[in-house]
A and B are shown apart, each in its own frame.
Chain A
Amino acid sequence: MQITSPGFKQNARTALDDAPLQRALGNVRKGFIEKRAKAATALPEFDVLRDNARDIKDHVLAHLDLYLEAYAEKVEAAGGHVHWAETADDARRIILQICRDKNARTVTKGKSMITEEIGLNDFLEEHAVAPVETDLGEYIIQLRGEHPSHIIAPAVHVNKDQVEADFRRVHTHLDPARNLEEPTTLLSEARGVLREKYFEADVGITGANFLIAETGTSVIVTNEGNGDLTQNLPKTHVVVASIEKIVPTLDDVSQILRVLARSATGQDMSVYTTFSTGPKRDIDPDGPEDYHVVLLDNGRSSMLGTEFQDMLRCIRCGACMNHCPVYHAVGGHAYGWVYPGPMGAVLTPSLMGVDQSGHLPNASTFCGRCESVCPMRIPLPKMMRHWREREFSRNLTPATARYGLGAWVFFAKRPALYQAATRVAMAVLGRLGRGKGRFSAMPLAGGWTKYRDLPAPEGGTFQAQWAKRRHAA
């Protein structure tokens, strides 16, 4: 996928002016937060489970090499094949080769962010293999020629009337006069169209939420059941997963499942949690004859042992973006690559380089909501700050920001001068803003006041008020 993260500022501006997008983003602000809070509150052990989920993944990351070896051994013992891919390009070639070995013309796909990361669909199309997305949201955006704007709700930026228009444009074999007013009619239409595709496909490709070392099992978590039809009806099942998806045992995965759906959609459990181990056995009347796992590194091993290692605990629930005021304002596409929101702001620089995506860790108010809801307790704001530090130390920060920070440092190192200067500045601003109580424009801060007013200060500096209260107490 082409990265447009360097153009984040322009992307964000465009998104803020995009009326249909802003309407669609209202659904993120409304639903996800309340549902997660309700599910978390209903389970008294929720925070204890989060702690344990974090500990499980920390343990795995400390021994990732050994767990991967144990996992691969089990997959092979069950009759499956394991392919190791250092880069996105390696993974694409491996998958294409599997498709070619099977003379595959169409492949159905379950929802997989990793296949987005490696740009699999475009690559397969270029090589005469037609990929068909089967998750409803993924199907909608495939028809629109778009990428997901959210890691669990890929079409969250699309409104119902747009879906209807797309279905009418593409499903030309159906009656043009049909009524698609109700969302259920759209769902039924997609169900009918895709049902045929499952049976036509030669290969089914899914991602994996987890890989279990104890048994050599891949796990997918879905609500629709599309991933299951994708992996059960074609003759070949290919799993594409990144190396950090490993968990040790069935007991460990049960622990993390308890925090995954609650954090993601506010469900206690997603509808289908499916454990797949090897190809069908001789006596099985259904299931794939071949089972392949492609293990993708693509820069993750370089995150081990660094201040970004904790990011590898991420289970892709989407809670961080669901609670992010920046994501709420601009949506996922503005971030310019596969992973949006706070997790994307940390992961994208790790995988694509901070010179390409330095804007993303800056696109944060540091309000801390992402960390407070992360089921794996990933310190997202801290890691965004690490990226800002690296960006600064590599001189990638724009000159005006550097001068601004330089000026601040000068004052911050001289507390008496700092206090005097802020006192004067506040008094002046307070007097100037007495009439309206706010400023709609400020010299040197035009970028900030363009989208909101600066309230006029009242009642002395923070330090002055702090000192006063301490005396009073």
Chain B
Amino acid sequence: MSDARRAILAKMRSAMGRKADDIDRKAAVADRLQRSPRGPIPARGQVDGAERTALFRKMAEAVQASVVRVGSREGVPEAVAAYLKSKNLPATVRMGEDPRLSEMPWSAQKHMETLTGRAENADLATVSHALGGVAETGTLMLVSGPDNPTTLNFLPEHHIVVLEEADIAGDYESVWARIRERFGKGVMPRTVNMITGPSRSADIEQTLLLGAHGPRALHIVIVERT
């Protein structure tokens, strides 16, 4: 279909009265792709420290996520166990290979069973570690890979996400900068998910209902800065 490609590009260029080898245009495009300039950033998220965490929490709760804080990574399994109990769920969670998660003291929780790997349809609860959060809108950002397989974000009824307080940014752009640093400029993992609250639909008479196809509940465990 390279004929189609040639034809479409030629049609565009003649419609715009442009040439393919226009050096100035090429430079303008290359420059923008290279510099990726930032646009206006809403002031709302531009706060620091505890204020930023509080904003993240407020925004996430406003979209029906539940949020708890724990003092350290060691406190996460207990918080997860408490959440499962509060929802009358079996003490079983599935997670990926993220060492930040696997090194947590899961076995200290009585009867807690941890499964690893990609999600299965029968999974009721999964645990993921977020790459970051965005205070502006209470948004989580997760990247695919063996550490945190993407299906964990969508198949279970309850999705539990661990977020380090230090990884909460004010705006999306700051997280993209982090992703560029980690994967290289112009390179992305297969999937980056921005998640803002649990799944929902308003397709029946514009009435908002939670739990359409993805998780019915999103629970965020914030690990305090140490």
Interface residues of A (CB under 8 A from B): 24, 27-28, 30-32, 43-45, 48-49, 52, 56, 59, 62-70, 72, 74, 78, 83-86, 90, 94, 134-137, 140, 153-156, 159-160, 163, 183-184, 186-188, 191, 194-195, 199, 213-217, 223-226, 228-229, 232-233, 243, 248-252, 254-255, 257-258, 265, 267-281, 283-287, 295, 297, 301-306
- Mark each residue of chain B from 144 to 155: 1 if its CB lies under 8 Å from any CB of chain A, else 0: 111001110111
Q: Give chain B's interface secondary structure class.
A: loop
B38 at the interface (CB under 8 A from A): yes
- Pairwise interchain contact A269-B137, C-beta atoms closer than 8 A: yes
Q: Report the nearest B residue to A72, measured CB to CB.
A: B5
B59 at the interface (CB under 8 A from A): yes
- List CB contacts (< 8 Å) of B134-189 with chain A: 136-137, 139, 144-146, 149-151, 153-155, 171-173, 176, 179-180, 186-189
Contact for B9 among A69, A134, A183, CB less than 8 A: A69
- Pairwise interchain contact B36-A223, C-beta atoms closer than 8 A: no
Contact for A281 among B1, B173, B190, B199, CB less than 8 A: B190
- Pairwise interchain contact B40-A49, C-beta atoms closer than 8 A: yes
* CB contacts between A and B, total, < 8 Å: 270
Query: In the assembled complex, how far is the CB of residue A385 from the closest CB belonging to chain B, in whole angstroms?
Result: 22
Chain A hits for B20, CB < 8 A: 65
Apart from A135-B203, A251-B173, A271-B214, 4 more pairs, CB < 8 Å: A44-B42, A64-B12, A269-B139, A305-B16
Query: In the assembled complex, how far is the CB of residue B136 from the closest CB belonging to chain A, in whole angstroms?
Result: 8
- Pairwise interchain contact B196-A269, C-beta atoms closer than 8 A: yes
Query: In the assembled complex, how far is the CB of residue A132 from the closest CB belonging to chain B, in whole angstroms?
Result: 12
Task: Determine the distance from Cα of A460 to Cα of B1 in the docked complex, in whole angstroms.
Answer: 67
- Pairwise interchain contact A52-B12, C-beta atoms closer than 8 A: no
Q: Report the nearest B residue to A45, measured CB to CB.
A: B42
Q: Report the nearest B residue to A159, measured CB to CB.
A: B205
- Pairwise interchain contact B190-A279, C-beta atoms closer than 8 A: yes
Comparing B24-32, B72-80, B104-112, the segment that makes contact with chain A is B24-32
Task: Determine the distance from Cα of A68 to Cα of B205 in the docked complex, in whole angstroms.
Answer: 39
Chain A hits for B85, CB < 8 A: none
Q: How many residues of B contact A (CB 8 A)?
A: 82
Interface residues of B (CB under 8 A from A): 1-2, 4-5, 7-9, 11-13, 15-18, 20, 25-26, 28-29, 32-33, 36-40, 42-44, 59, 63, 96, 117-119, 121, 136-137, 139, 144-146, 149-151, 153-155, 171-173, 176, 179-180, 186-207, 209, 211-215
Chain A hits for B9, CB < 8 A: 65, 68-69
- Pairwise interchain contact B191-A274, C-beta atoms closer than 8 A: yes
Query: In the assembled complex, how far is the CB of residue A227 from the closest CB belonging to chain B, in whole angstroms?
Result: 9
- Pairwise interchain contact A223-B212, C-beta atoms closer than 8 A: yes
- Pairwise interchain contact A49-B4, C-beta atoms closer than 8 A: no
- Pairwise interchain contact A287-B212, C-beta atoms closer than 8 A: no
- Pairwise interchain contact B151-A191, C-beta atoms closer than 8 A: no
- Pairwise interchain contact B190-A278, C-beta atoms closer than 8 A: yes
Task: Determine the distance from Cα of A243 to Cα of B12 in the docked complex, in whole angstroms.
Answer: 11
- Pairwise interchain contact A67-B29, C-beta atoms closer than 8 A: yes
Contact for B172 among A257, A283, A295, CB less than 8 A: A257
Contact for B173 among A63, A183, A248, A254, CB less than 8 A: A254
- Pairwise interchain contact B149-A284, C-beta atoms closer than 8 A: yes
Task: Determine the distance from Cα of A381 to Cα of B77 in the docked complex, in whole angstroms.
Answer: 58
- Pairwise interchain contact A301-B191, C-beta atoms closer than 8 A: no
Contact for B201 among A223, A250, A258, A295, CB less than 8 A: A223
Query: In the assembled complex, how far is the CB of residue B93 from the closest CB belonging to chain A, in whole angstroms?
Result: 16
- Pairwise interchain contact B196-A214, C-beta atoms closer than 8 A: no
Task: Determine the distance from Cα of A311 to Cα of B116 in the docked complex, in whole angstroms.
Answer: 48
- Pairwise interchain contact B146-A283, C-beta atoms closer than 8 A: yes
- Pairwise interchain contact B214-A272, C-beta atoms closer than 8 A: yes
- Pairwise interchain contact A254-B42, C-beta atoms closer than 8 A: no
Chain B hits for A275, CB < 8 A: 188, 191-194
Query: In the assembled complex, how far is the CB of residue A141 from the closest CB belonging to chain B, in whole angstroms?
Result: 10
Say yes or no: A136-B25 contact (C-beta < 8 A), given A269-B196, A302-B11: no
Q: Which 3 A-B pairs have the closest CB atoms?
A: A225-B214, A224-B212, A137-B203
Chain B hits for A186, CB < 8 A: 204
- Pairwise interchain contact B196-A268, C-beta atoms closer than 8 A: yes
- Pairwise interchain contact B150-A232, C-beta atoms closer than 8 A: yes
